Amino acid sequence: MSPKTIRKPSTKEQWEYVLRESLAEAQAEYETVKEECKSLMVVSADAERPDSSLALIQALALKRKHMEKYMAALRQFTDL
C-alpha cells in the first residue's frame, strides 16, 4: 500500500475548514479532560486516599496540555 498523500489546503475557505475542524477537536478534547479533572477534584478531597493528590496533579497537567492545544488551534484560526 502506498502512503496517503496529505495535501495542503489551497484556498482560504479550505484553510478555514481545516482549522475549524482542528479547533472543534481541540475544544472537545479539552472539555472532556476538564470534566475528568472535576471528578478527580472530588476524589482528591478524600484525605484517606494517599494517591488522590498525585491523581489531581496529573489531571491538572493533562488539562493544561489540552488547554494549550486548544489555545494554539484558536490562535491559528483567528490568525487566518
Residue 40, domain member (yes or no)? yes
Residue 1 lies in a domain: no
- pLDDT at residue 5 in the model: 55
Question: What nine digits make up the cell of 45?
Answer: 478531597
For residues 72 and 80, what is the distance between their CA atoms, to the nearest angstrom?
Answer: 13
Is 5 within the bounds of a domain? no
Which of 5-9, 28-32, 33-37 comes out lowest in average pLDDT?
5-9
**Lowest-confidence pick of 45-49, 61-65, 73-77:** 45-49
In a domain, 4, yes or no: no
Cell matching residue 37: 479533572
| Domain boundaries, position 56 | 12-79
Q: Is the pLDDT of residue 33 over 50?
A: yes
Q: Within a domain: residue 2?
A: no
Name the pTM for this structure.
Answer: 0.65
Q: In the numeric block, which cell numbers belong to residue 23? A: 479547533
Surface-to-core class of residue 66, CB atoms within 10 Å of its CB (0-12 exposed, 13-18 middle, 19+ buried): buried
Instruction: Tell whether 30 is covered by a domain.
Output: yes
Percent of the chain at pLDDT > 90 equals 10
Count: domains in the chain: 1
